[in-house]
Homo-oligomer: A and B are copies of this chain.
Amino acid sequence: MARLEPMSTTTPCQRCALRALPIYRRLNEAELAFVEKFKIGEMEVQAGSDILLAGTHSAHLFTIYDGWCFRYDLMEDGGRQILSLLLPGDFIGLQTEMLGTMQHSVQSLTDVRLCVFSRERIWTIFERFPQLSFDLTWAAACGERTVEVALANVGRRPSFERLAALVMHLYRQLEGLRLVKDGTILWPLTQQHIADLLGLSTVHVNRVLRRLINSGLIRLDGRRLTVVDPGALAEIAGVDLEKPLRRPLI
């Protein structure tokens, strides 16, 4: 299942394509130089691999450079709750440092390229880089807010709106990452994933998804999803279609 392949060819942080995006804060030279040293290397992971397991102590910290992952909890009865999706720029494994062991697991949805960071050297951040320390807290706060929005979605919205909100949430995130082309985004999620994300059964997801497609609001062919009318979908989803929020990137 889990297959981690260390990479030899790495991208220098200075020329990182992600970092150039306007949603991210611009690091100064000292910070950038440190991040470069903080980074151990890169890693490729196949789709469907477990990257971190709940209860374990991860050896490294990661950032997603390319691809999608998700964080999840397994329930006693074998059920699964997906806590959040992770997209390029997102941090993986910060929990370990703070809470001792991972409380949740992380799995890749697509083939993924990760940046790998040294866990020991994270303390250097707190000791010498105030702004980066702030960014770490900021990242944690962003992560928390994402889960909060998901909780409100699952707890208080009917399945149709719930699904619409999921699509629009991803649409907005990917917009900030410049990963929306003509209203079309990558859609690596199976209906099982969607069910575990939204607290529904797969059968019901199938029906609701079909209803959403038949309503003409979205189109779905293979692993690509097109939002036909983002404004209308956002209305149903109950999310405002503001520009994506700025986020930290280590």
A residues neighboring B (CB under 8 Å)? 71, 73, 75-76, 79-81, 83, 94-95, 98-100, 103-104, 123, 126-127, 130-131, 133-134, 136-138, 140-145, 147-152, 154-157, 196, 198-199, 238, 245
Contact = CB atoms under 8 A, between A and B. Distances in A.
Given A95-B141, A99-B245, 7 more contacts: A83-B148, A98-B137, A98-B141, A99-B142, A140-B141, A147-B151, A155-B196
Contact of A98 (B133, B142, B157): B142
Contacts of A99: 138, 141-142, 145, 245
A246 B75 CA distance: 23
Contacts of A151: 81, 83, 147, 150-151, 154
A79 B157 CA distance: 9
Nearest to A79: B156
Contact of A75 (B104, B141, B156): B156
A155 B157 contact: no
Contacts of A123: 130, 134
Contact of A140 (B76, B79, B140): B140
A75 B140 contact: no
Q: Which 3 A-B pairs have the closest CB atoms?
A: A155-B199, A140-B140, A81-B152
B103 A148 contact: yes
Nearest to A147: B147
Contact of A155 (B81, B138, B141): B81
A173 B140 CA distance: 21
B98 A138 contact: yes
A133 B134 CA distance: 8
A140 B142 CA distance: 9
A94 B126 contact: no
B98 A155 contact: no
A144 B149 CA distance: 12
Which of A76, A126, A151, A157 gathers the greatest number of chain B CB atoms within 10 Å? A151
A173 to B, nearest CB: 15
Nearest to A129: B126
Nearest to A128: B130
